[in-house]
Amino acid sequence: MSDPRRLLLVNGPNLNLLGTREPGIYGSATLADVERITADAAASAGFEIRAIQSNHEGVLIDAIHAAREDCAGIVINPGGLTHTSVSLRDALTGVGLPFAEVHISDVYAREGFRHHSYLHDVAAVRVVGRGVDGYADAVRQLAELL
């Protein structure tokens, strides 16, 4: 059964490189900073965070499946899987938890292939182009829905 006080934070491929990967696009904040920002916003809204980052799609899908046992919702930055993964979409819709899709950069101001998201039409919340502060925005908006 879901725990109404826990959210799963999912960060996809290459987000482990935050802080060093293309800082002109993604800024200087690290993945640890993202997890702290998200946890702080969640705590303010009465939630705790369980965080996972993986460069492997199946690991992310397994974590999403497990979330239905003890989480009320999901905050996800799927990275490049946003534009390619029907399987990730199926996992998110399959568990039946509301989720927030987050992108640090404004994907609509970047390469054309980044404009398509397999998640946009099933996400309860979308936050795009707000930097790492977008994670806190996503938590607040998701918490209001819960």
Would you say 104 is a known binding-site residue?
A: yes
Retrieve residue 63's tokens.
């974590």
Would you say 117 is a known binding-site residue?
A: no
Would you say 77 is a known binding-site residue?
A: yes
Catalytic residues: 26, 103
Question: What is the four-CA torsion angle of 96, 10, 140, 90, rounded to 10 degrees?
Answer: -30
Would you say 83 is a known binding-site residue?
A: yes
Note whether 6 and 48 are within 8 A (CB). yes
SS3 100: strand
Would you say 105 is a known binding-site residue?
A: yes
Note whether 52 and 77 are within 8 A (CB). no
Would you say 126 is a known binding-site residue?
A: no
Q: Which residues are annotated as a binding site for substrate?
A: 77, 83, 90, 104-105, 114
Q: Which residues are annotated as a binding site?
A: 77, 83, 90, 104-105, 114
